[in-house]
Amino acid sequence: MIASLEGFLPSALPRAWHAWLGPSASDMLRAVGQQLDERDEETSITPRAEHILRAFEMSPDSISAVIVGQDPYPAYSMASGLAFSVNKHVTTLPGSLRNIRQELADDVGIQLPHHGDLSAWATQGVLLVNRHLTTVVGKPGAHAKVGWSHFTDLVVRTIATKRPDTVAVLWGKQAQTLLPLCTGMPTICSAHPSPLSAHRGFLGSKPFSQVNSLRAQRGLPPIDWSLETEA
């Protein structure tokens, strides 16, 4: 059991990201951890503590695109630490993920596996990050005001400065609050893939081929959007 998120979160951010983001990253994560500790919600916070910063396991120097969502899936054991992704053992996929998979197949013709694990995209340099990195089981948006936005502001602002060819994909209003920080980056905005909004601009938006088109305009190779097939 993690004794204190205030102490744990700064230590969980990989060293390369600390160097990339600067010393304020530790202060922001410590402040978020303190807020979460004071709420005494450790047993109900999702994702699990060791997965909260999972998106940052990839090297910051490898980023090719960043897909931003709102906050983790609130259902028990759904959140994996990667925005919109679930672990392979999850058999009932969230509605947002089902819509992403449908758009993926329609847009670039990917053969879909049965699972909803999107971690293969991280190996292609796709940072899958939510605007707010935690919530409470059964309570979407519960941690929208604990300070996560300061940290994700820093992440996107730093990407825009250090890797301006990164394509920013902002799905939904929460993600699109980052738009002013994406100056100079190629950016794709649409409705959130949630069943409540997907038919108002997400489905048919072709974000995956758009990303590759924007990269091609900069002389960069396409992202392989394939997902790992089952063993």
Q: Which of 229, 198, 223 is nearest to 66 (CA)?
A: 223
Q: By the 8 A CB rule, do 222 and 212 touch? A: yes
10-to-25, 52, 113, 218, 228 alpha-carbon distances in Å:
8, 11, 35, 35, 31
* Catalytic pick among 37, 40, 61, 71: 71
97-to-22, 24, 40, 134, 190 alpha-carbon distances in Å:
33, 33, 30, 18, 15
Assess whether 71 carries a catalytic annotation: yes
Query: For residue 221, what are its two tokens?
Result: 């190779």
Query: For residue 172, what are its two tokens?
Result: 């939904």
Q: By the 8 A CB rule, do 36 and 134 touch? A: yes
Query: For residue 38, what are its two tokens?
Result: 């004071």
Query: For residue 16, what are its two tokens?
Result: 């390369």
Q: Is 145 exposed, middle or buried (0-12, 13-18, 19+ CB in 10 A)?
A: exposed
Which residue is listed with tokens 């999850």? 90
CA Rg value for the chain: 17
145-to-23, 32, 68 alpha-carbon distances in Å:
22, 9, 17
Task: Cite the active site residues.
Answer: 71
